[in-house]
Amino acid sequence: MGVHRAREGGRGRRSRARSRDRVTRAREASPNVVPMRRPRLSESYEPPSASGADVVLGCGNFGTAKLMRRRATGELVAIKYIERGEKIDENVKRELVNHCLLRHPNIVRFIECALTEKHLAIAMEYASGGELFDRVLRSPNGRFTEGEARYFFQQLISGVAYCHAKGVAHRDLKLENALLDGGAVPRLKICDFGYSKNAFIDSDPKSTVGTPAYIAPEVLERKAYDGKTADVWSCGVTLFVMLCGRYPFEDRRRPKDFRSTITKIRNCDYAVPPGVVLSEGCMDLIQRIFVVDPARRIDMVGIQAHPWFLTDLPLELVAVHDEDLEPSISMTMDEILAIVEEAKVVHSEGAEQREFDHDMVTSGEFDDDDLDDA
């Protein structure tokens, strides 16, 4: 492991430099350049069934995710539709810029983005196994065994560590943003980079974003913080829920009271539920993650070297070294940014066929009143 990481270190620096230069050049490109004619979405994708019926994968604040089939290959893909206009903001731009830079077996693959008359459409790999959250709910007693939790946690950490090596902090890690493929031995896939930040091109994060139950204490302080260290805390919450079937900082008497949750996060007030027995190594790792002071919290390297994490570590996670590979997408960064700029303009003419008006599942920001009163 040590030799492997040392070898990746040199390659990682070169890769990160290339990523930084590529994004910088693209962001400096003029948004007024007239793009080449791009195929209409309906020319590349079609509904998955012969009947043409829509298959909605999820709805939320931004738009809709639909299951579609790629005409050229027959591959099933997920397409996220975001309404053109004011919803096309910096978060959407960062989502596309950061996601398209990432290529890893534990990250949902970005395919391309396109415009319809009413929406920005983002095509991604389809993870047919659904959310990890649902798998936890279906498990006996609503929680995983320690071995099963470790298996998924190892994949989560592998994907997040890769993001961090690329300079990307996810900032909204949770069970709902960890999808599973349809394999007999499921592979975890991290998704939704809407709140992500890139250390090479963005300022240090200050905004209080994320999902309340998973948010790190330093994110609540309205000061600049390290998004990667905050991701470590969120990974710890994900591990705890898989093992215990409940959120560590949720007030069982008032589960929807965000103020109570914030107070417990700030005080690192949690306990393993009665009836749940965890090994000494597992508890040690959890205690090293749930540290209020981010400077004293275990980092990704520490997690990956922890004995509990290394137990039964799949060989494929030890041997991941595709960091230097360019993302396998057919678009340049210039094209992606041009599409984002064009998507800010609302078209008032007739809508293209196969338009959708649902909302895409996302996470929200804390209300500042919650912070003041907590």
pLDDT tens for the chain, 374 residues: list them: 332 222 333 334 444 444 455 545 544 544 444 445 566 788 899 999 888 888 999 887 677 999 999 998 999 999 999 999 999 998 899 999 999 999 999 999 999 999 999 999 999 999 999 999 999 999 999 999 999 999 999 999 999 999 999 999 999 999 999 999 988 899 999 999 989 998 876 656 667 777 889 999 999 998 899 999 999 999 999 999 999 999 999 988 887 788 999 999 999 999 999 999 999 999 999 999 999 999 999 999 999 999 999 999 998 888 655 544 544 667 889 999 999 999 999 976 544 434 433 332 334 445 444 455 55
Q: Which residues pair with 67 in a beta bridge?
A: 78
CA distances from 113 to 44, 124, 202, 246, 286 (A): 11, 9, 22, 37, 39
**The pLDDT value given to residue 175:** 97
Number of Cβ within 10 Å of residue 294's Cβ equals 18
- Residue type at position 322: D
Task: Output DSSP code: residue 107.
Answer: B
From CA 23, how far away is CA 39, in angstroms rounded? Answer: 24
How many distinct helices (H) and strands (E) make up the chain? Answer: 13, 11
For residue 21, what are its two tokens? 């230069």
Q: Are 289 and 300 in contact (CB under 8 A)?
A: no
Angle of helix 227-244 relative to helix 146-165, nearest 10 degrees, comes to: 170
Measuring CA to CA, which residue among 58, 44, 120, 23 is closest to residue 355?
120
| 212 SS3 class | helix
Is the pTM here over 0.95, yes or no? no
Tokens for 125, please give them. 């790999």
Neighbours of 254 (CB within 10 A): 11
Active site residue 172: yes
CB of 301 within 8 A of CB of 12? no
10 Cβ partners below 8 Å, 6+ apart? none
Cβ atoms 188, 152 nearer than 8 A: yes
Predicted pLDDT at 367: 47
- Are 172 and 208 in contact by the 8 Å Cβ rule? The answer is no
Q: Which domains does the chain have, with CATH numbers?
A: 21-126+324-364 (3.30.200.20), 130-318 (1.10.510.10)
Pick from 30, 34, 45: which is nearest to 116 by CA?
45
Overall size of the chain counted in residues: 374
pLDDT of residue 34: 47
Predicted confidence at residue 318, as pLDDT, reads 80
DSSP-derived secondary structure letter, 365 = B
**Contacting residues for 369 by C-beta, under 8 A, at least 6 apart:** none
* CA angle in degrees (0–180, nearest 5) for 45-50-56: 60
Catalytic-labelled residue, pool 21, 89, 172, 373: 172
Judge whether 295 and 143 are in contact, CB under 8 Å.
Answer: no
